[in-house]
Amino acid sequence: MTALEHDPQANREVPEAGLGRRGFLGWVMAGTTLVVAADLGLSRTAASAIPSLPQVPEVYDLEDLQTDAALPTANLITVTINTDGTASFALPRMEVGQGIVTSTAMILAEELDLPVEKVKVTLAPARPELLFNQLTGGSNTTFSTYTPIRVAAAVARRKLLDAAAIQLGTTVDRLTTTGGIVSDALGNTVAYGDLATSAASQVVEAVEVLLKSKAEHQVIGKPRNRTDARDAVTGRKKFTTDLDVPGALPTMVCRPPEHQGSPKRIRNKTQVLRLPGVTHVAMVDTGVAVRAKTFGQCIDAVRALEVDWNRGTVSGESDQTILAKLKAQELPMVVPQVPVLAQQVDTRFEFMFRSSAALEPYAAIADVRKDRAEVWAGLKAPIVAQGNIAAATGLRPDQVKVNVVTGGGSFGHKLFGDHAIEAAKVSKAMGVPVKLMWHRVDEPRQGRLHPMATSRVRATMLAGQVLSFEQRHTSVTTDFSHGLGEMITSLADELPTGLGGLGFAETIFTLTQELPYNFGVVTQLLNEPLEFEDKFSTGSMRNIYSPDTCVAAELTIDLMAKKAGKDPMQFRLDHVKNKRVRAVLEKVKKEGSWGRAMPKGMAQGVALHKEYKGATAVLVEIDCRPETVQRDLGKETYTGPRVTKAVIAVDCGLVINPRGVEAQMQGGFMDGLAMTLSASSHLRDGRFLEGSWDNYFYTRQWNVPPEGVEVHILESDSDTPGGIGEASVGSSAAAVACAYARATGTLPTRFPINHGQVRFKPKSFVPSMPASPTNGLKKTY
Amino acid sequence: MPKQTFILNGKPVTVDVKDDVRVLWVLRDLLGVTGPKYGCGINVCKACTSHINGKAFNPCSVKVGDLKRTDKVTTIEGLPATVGAKGDDLHPMQEAWLELDVAQCGYCQPGQIMAAVALVKKVRREGRDITEADLDRIRNVCRCGTYVRIREAIEKGARAMR
């Protein structure tokens, strides 16, 4: 354990007037043990150059506040100091593997001077009063919670010091805190746990605190393993289906063959009810649900069901018909007149549907009664889910309790409450608690998809100078009804100028796209034609638009470099916008030995991406030689071109946990790799063909770069953390695409590059689930 | 209802359930042993990888009726005991996983670890060490993309399993 020790007053400049840059206002709540709080809205202060406290107006009367103790709690996050010396905090976000429980514990430990092991971070249930402040997405968790969490912790520490001063008969300035213990100069000590009660307040009280400076950090910035790692490797980590809620028996849904179809009629309900283990059969809008003693018996019952189905929302449509519709809707370029001597680079790329499903399928436990409901599920937007569940069950939102469970991955999939809403409907229809789980085949066929899109780019150059760079992205509608949309509506008046009149999708596109190059007049526009509204179950997928736009832009930049007679790396360095992007690019150039000689059929590729207040450069080496591409590792195994090595450099602002940043960069790389080379969903006659991991080709060990994925985290000037969960996806996808183009000498225009050929026999649509095999004992090793 | 008896993590267990129910559901839904995860139910994703008589198998694809009374099923919960670990001590492969901080969401990791231990034992039986080609052939899906750390951890765990 790192020793946490610092003089409480050292390096803490007292603000001259009001609260300074690191000075903030927090609260001590009334309680029997020490409970402190800070306003979640404080994050906005940290983001702006000029500190201010818009969420705590000076006119706010403390008397009023004390009278109406409920009010301050409305937007607050609270930290409790327990009598056993631990601190507890319910994070209003969802852990899906991205490491925020660990990084949050580190942030609290830092400001509290408490060992990380003594900080207990749990996930808060849906708190409707937080409005838009309980959405885990857009790589925003640490950025938005960094300041308020530190303020709450600093208030707690301050109150513990006050209590210790009384107990030790001294003054606060003579006390130091280390590892959860307060000491005076004489060597007298008192533990936080012993102060928790005496530091408690009977009334709500406002407290001014100063946060530690970056230079004082002892925990933040040091590599730390995940707090839940031991539970994960011992099988003790609990996911939704691992929970034991009394009476909540396994439940699965027989789903329509067509995407977003619906059930018309069950033909053999009585027979299915007689099958072993089956307790209930009920029709809901998404299919026919079966509840049984085991999930295996649910699968058998679903396979036995005979159901008449209504057609889906894209009946008769296929990849080609949707692509044709998208093409017809592409926005025109605006470069009107190309100067006589100017050169033009025109490109157009197509991006196929992809499934954002995690390894843990959609699962939710629901217990819906006449007057109340309780739901357990992995949910990144639990408040929205709560509202939806209330609407679906005819209850008021305050009658619905939504418990947030750690998720087995999300990648955008758990932004939506589809599983929780469906479980609630099924529980209501059956009148019993249910533990609903989607079968794997349900996920790519009926679950959320990354929308199909096209991206056109036109660049003009004159005498080596880039005059303009235009990008037109046309996409099947992206569903933002998980809360981001409402957030935009509520902020309509505060958004930067130029966003007025744009829809949700266009606003998000504009807020996320930032071309990190000086290319003269740059325009990047999105069009999501209305004709696709509600046709597909879509959403963002580990990054929203960037993987596709970045691939299109970076491949075009390679062509521009070629036209200018420049090396692709040098061309990029000649045009980078600022020193942060230059630094990451220079880093991969050096560490990845850019320009080294490679055999024919192999090549390097480089790409750059800027988003979420950070910059990421990726350099890869790819092997497209026939002996590699045609590797035969047996059935159900797509090999193809192999990236042999990847080097990533990232400037993600202030780093909380470098080990977590490295993990996110490596994981994001695997997603980018799959998007470019192998993973997609095929639409044929209104049905998606893919059914499991043997035909949805997400990155597997045989695709992983054998020489590793090297991650370099650059020192950043920034005092605030950027987003890391998605930061490497776009640049990885693009670097792989650029390397592939250079190795093969052909420009790929459809992604993933293997989409043209269906390499598997689709699993049956009726019945909607495959039987589990029985030959497992023949496959032991 | 037939009685199904086998040895689970060192202790005999008996469950009343029909022969054709797959072992995964007997473990998870009837016995409450939730370390092995469901990821596909068709022996593709390998999230449920456990051991039978010391070898890797996927309980989603084995009928409980096909287990013999003497078959020893080991799930991640019982892995430490296979090397005589006491109390909170872990198997060297689990320790390697901790040291390299492999897990992200953690859903696939019990299966990854069980597969890794079986793989190391398999190549040892063949009188050799793990190669890149062996690592390439591991079929366990990790949708968080922790593959690089998994490879490093297997090599480290293998050294500690001597």
From first CA to last CA, the distance across chain A in angstroms is 40
B50 and B110 fall within a common domain: no
Residue A370: how many other CB atoms lie within 10 Å: 11
Distance (Å) from the alpha carbon of B160 to chain A's nearest alpha carbon:
16
Last residue of a domain, one of B76, B91, B113: B76
Q: Is A304 helix (H, G, I), strand (E, B) or coil?
A: helix
B87 and B156 fall within a common domain: yes
- DSSP type of residue B22: B
User: What residue in B sits closest to A700 (Cα-Cα)?
Assistant: B141
A541 and A480 fall within a common domain: yes
B120 and B145 fall within a common domain: yes
User: What residue in B sits closest to A363 (Cα-Cα)?
Assistant: B38
Nearest by CB to B25, which of A294, A358, A709?
A: A294
Q: What are phi and psi of B132, to 5 degrees?
A: -55, -40
Tally the domains of chain B: 2
| Residue A188 structure tokens | 């007298």
Q: CB-based contact (8 Å) between B118 and chain A? A: yes
Asked if A146 and A721 count as a contact pair (C-beta separation under 8 A), the reply is yes
Distance (Å) from the alpha carbon of A451 to chain B's nearest alpha carbon:
19
A54 and A153 fall within a common domain: yes
A267 and A338 fall within a common domain: no
Asked if A259 and A772 count as a contact pair (C-beta separation under 8 A), the reply is no
Name chain A contacts of B18, Cβ cutoff 8 Å.
Answer: 276-277
B90 and B59 fall within a common domain: no
A250 and A186 fall within a common domain: no
Name chain B contacts of A702, Cβ cutoff 8 Å.
Answer: 136-137
Asked if B147 and B140 count as a contact pair (C-beta separation under 8 A), the reply is no
Q: Average pLDDT over chain B, rounded to whole?
A: 97
d(CA A107, CA A577) in angstroms, rounded, equals: 32
Average pLDDT over residues B138-143: 98
Q: CB-based contact (8 Å) between B71 and chain A? A: no
Name chain A contacts of B145, Cβ cutoff 8 Å.
Answer: 666-671, 699
Nearest by CB to B61, which of A241, A293, A772?
A: A772
Of the candidates B131, B113, B141, which has an alpha carbon nearest to the alpha carbon of residue A358?
B141
Q: CB-based contact (8 Å) between B103 and chain A? A: yes
User: What residue in B sits closest to A238 (Cα-Cα)?
Assistant: B34
pLDDT of residue A289: 98
| B136 or A4, higher pLDDT | B136
Q: CB–CB of B106 and A97 under 8 A?
A: yes
Q: Give the residue numbers spanning the domain of A567.
A: 320-353+449-751
B146 and B90 fall within a common domain: yes
The dihedral built from the CA positions of residue A628, A630, A635 and A637, taken in this order, carries a sign that is: positive
DSSP letter string, B88-107: T---HHHHHHHHTT--SS-S
Q: CB-based contact (8 Å) between B39 and chain A? A: yes
Q: CB–CB of A770 and B66 under 8 A?
A: no
User: What residue in B sits closest to A694 (Cα-Cα)?
Assistant: B44
Determine, yes or no, domain membership for A9. yes
CA A562 to chain centre: 36
A155 and A50 fall within a common domain: yes
User: What residue in B sits closest to A361 (Cα-Cα)?
Assistant: B39
What CATH code is carried by the domain that includes residue B64?
3.10.20.30
Asked if A402 and A375 count as a contact pair (C-beta separation under 8 A), the reply is yes
Residue A726: how many other CB atoms lie within 10 Å: 30
A462 and A426 fall within a common domain: no
The position carrying tokens 């209850």 is A395
Last residue of a domain, one of B76, B104, B124: B76
pLDDT of residue A131: 63
Q: Is A732 helix (H, G, I), strand (E, B) or coil?
A: helix
Parallel, antiparallel or unpaired: strands A465-475 and A521-527: parallel
Determine, yes or no, domain membership for A500. yes
Cis peptide before A762 (omega within 30 of 0): no
A170 and A250 fall within a common domain: no
Residue B80: how many other CB atoms lie within 10 Å: 21
pLDDT of residue A48: 27
Chain B, 136 to 155: residues with Cβ < 8 Å from chain A are: 136-151
Counting every residue, how long is chain B?
162
Q: CB-based contact (8 Å) between B30 and chain A? A: yes
> In sequence order, what are the beta bridge partners of A523?
A470
d(CA A706, CA A673) in angstroms, rounded, equals: 14
Q: Which portions of chain A are predicted below pLDDT 70?
A: 1-21, 41-75, 131-133, 137-138, 335-337, 483-502
Distance (Å) from the alpha carbon of B101 to chain A's nearest alpha carbon:
5
Asked if A670 and A736 count as a contact pair (C-beta separation under 8 A), the reply is no
What CATH code is carried by the domain that includes residue B125?
1.10.150.120
A349 and A367 fall within a common domain: no
Q: CB–CB of A235 and B36 under 8 A?
A: yes
Determine, yes or no, domain membership for A761. no
Distance (Å) from the alpha carbon of B150 to chain A's nearest alpha carbon:
9
Residue A529: how many other CB atoms lie within 10 Å: 15
Of the candidates A567, A622, A625, which has an alpha carbon nearest to the alpha carbon of residue A600?
A625
Last residue of a domain, one of B18, B51, B76: B76
B85 and B56 fall within a common domain: no
A549 and A605 fall within a common domain: yes
Tally the domains of chain A: 3
Residue A172: how many other CB atoms lie within 10 Å: 15
Q: Give the residue numbers spanning the domain of B116.
A: 81-160
Name chain B contacts of A704, Cβ cutoff 8 Å.
Answer: 136, 147-148, 151
| A546 or B96, higher pLDDT | B96
- DSSP type of residue A553: H
pTM above 0.90, yes or no: yes
A343 and A478 fall within a common domain: yes
Average pLDDT over residues B111-116: 98
Last residue of a domain, one of A417, A437, A457: A437
B56 and B114 fall within a common domain: no
| Residue A371 structure tokens | 């007057």
Determine, yes or no, domain membership for A106. yes
- List, in sequence order, every beta strand (DSSP E) within chain B: 3-8, 11-16, 50-52, 55-57, 72-74
Of the candidates A578, A582, A455, A577, which has an alpha carbon nearest to the alpha carbon of residue A520?
A577
Name chain B contacts of A230, Cβ cutoff 8 Å.
Answer: 98
d(CA A696, CA A638) in angstroms, rounded, equals: 10
A485 and A422 fall within a common domain: no
Q: Is A540 helix (H, G, I), strand (E, B) or coil?
A: coil
d(CA B32, CA A712) in angstroms, rounded, equals: 43
pLDDT of residue A559: 98
User: What are the Cα distances from residue A80, in Å, to A155, A192, A219, A428, A683?
Assistant: 11, 11, 20, 37, 51
d(CA B26, CA B42) in angstroms, rounded, equals: 16
Residue B1: band (very low, low, confident or very high) from pLDDT cuts 50, 70, 90: confident
Which ipTM score applies to this complex? Answer: 0.98
Q: CB–CB of B104 and A777 under 8 A?
A: no
User: What residue in B sits closest to A237 (Cα-Cα)?
Assistant: B106
d(CA A561, CA A466) in angstroms, rounded, equals: 10
B99 and B49 fall within a common domain: no
Determine, yes or no, domain membership for A102. yes
Counting every residue, how long is chain A?
781
| Residue B155 structure tokens | 């090599």
Exposed/middle/buried for A517, CB within 10 Å: 0-12, 13-18, 19+? buried
A379 and A475 fall within a common domain: no
User: What residue in B sits closest to A709 (Cα-Cα)?
Assistant: B148
Asked if A459 and A512 count as a contact pair (C-beta separation under 8 A), the reply is no
What CATH code is carried by the domain that includes residue A600?
3.30.365.10
> In sequence order, what are the beta bridge partners of A615?
A610, A651
